[in-house]
Amino acid sequence: MLEHIFVIGGTGNIGTKAVKDLLSNGIKVTLYARNPTKALCLFPDYDALLTIVQGDYSDLMPFYDAIKKGRYTRLLLLVQIDSGNMNAPLLKKQLATAAYEAGVSQVVDISSYAAGDRWRYNFAAEDHWASEKTLMEIPNRSSLVCLRPGRLASNIVDFDIHAIKHLNMYPGSAEPDETMGWISPNDVGTVAGRMLMDDVAKHGDAVYEMIGEVLTPRKTAAVISTVVGREIPYVHMDPIARYTMLTDKAGLPHRIAYALTDLNENGIQVTRALPILLGRKPETLEEYLMAYKDQLM
């Protein structure tokens, strides 16, 4: 049977890479997107392979209708957990249950490294752990692969661009020589795409943690300095000041800002087997940020 993959969350950093890889390998993809125009602009060369279903999370009927009619083989489930206003475990369960009932043989869920850490210690650990558990408990389901990326390299562009550009610093509440586990969104998207193209039986109900590079805040600042071509020091901030910066300047909701301020990754290690999943070496933080050099300058 020819693959036809349904993708939820295909227009963000991770999803875009996964979808491009699928399309470039001749695989039909259907995207569930709030903004079809944006989706089409991201994938302009694949009209014959790409279908857009317009919809959002407030009304899942367009998704339910499409998943029943499309004879889809697999589902990429990328739900951004970004506030306390959304019941992510319930939403993921609704989406995955409908897909399994429609005959999908595999769901690839983008979870978080935090799901395997201390239970409920922050919003990511709570929501992603609960989501994985809820998905695992769906009756009569088929394969479920959970990818657990660490700290996304895109966080620097998304959350700290103001401080880098205008304050000439890389801020944080961690001690300068603590460790942080980074992963490129491109690598997460690459692995997701490969999971969806591999034989389903190869991965079964696998869980894959994804840490591509471990750096201290001081070394992270040195990487940023190399990218922008000027000295960007790491500035260790009081937790309240860091929290305020994340809420006021980056516009993050309380739960995310609090978790990022309190995050402690000391002892985190690189996922040594990650090149097996990628088919190459992981993308470094420097390589990822070079694509956003003009924005960071």
Tens-place pLDDT, residues 219-248: 999 999 999 999 999 999 999 999 999 999
Q: Is residue 6 pLDDT above 60, yes or no? A: yes
Q: Is residue 84 pLDDT above 60, yes or no? A: no
Q: How do residues 85-119 score in pLDDT, each as one tens digit?
A: 578 999 999 999 999 999 999 999 999 999 998 88
The confidence score (pLDDT) of residue 85 equals: 58
- Alpha-carbon distance of 150 to 148, in angstroms, equals 7
pTM: 0.95
Rounded alpha-carbon distances, angstroms, from residue 289 to 31, 109, 220, 224, 272: 27, 25, 11, 8, 22
Instruction: Report H helices in the chain.
Output: 13-24, 36-42, 61-69, 88-101, 123-136, 154-159, 161-166, 185-197, 200-203, 217-228, 239-248, 254-262, 274-278, 285-290, 293-296
Residue 197 and residue 279 in contact, taking contact as beta carbons nearer than 8 Å: no
Residue written as token pair 């880098």: 164
Is the domain defined by 4-150+184-210+269-279 classed in CATH 3.40.50.720?
yes
Residue 143 and residue 136 in contact, taking contact as beta carbons nearer than 8 Å: no
Residue 104 and residue 73 in contact, taking contact as beta carbons nearer than 8 Å: yes
pLDDT band at 122 (very low <50, low <70, confident <90, very high): confident
Q: In the chain, where are the structural domains located?
A: 4-150+184-210+269-279
Average pLDDT on 35-49 reads 92
- Alpha-carbon distance of 101 to 142, in angstroms, equals 9
Query: For residue 18, which amino acid is it?
Result: A
Q: How do residues 60-82 score in pLDDT, each as one tens digit?
A: 999 999 999 989 999 999 998 76
Helix-helix angle 254-262:239-248, to 10 degrees: 140
Residue 213 and residue 285 in contact, taking contact as beta carbons nearer than 8 Å: yes
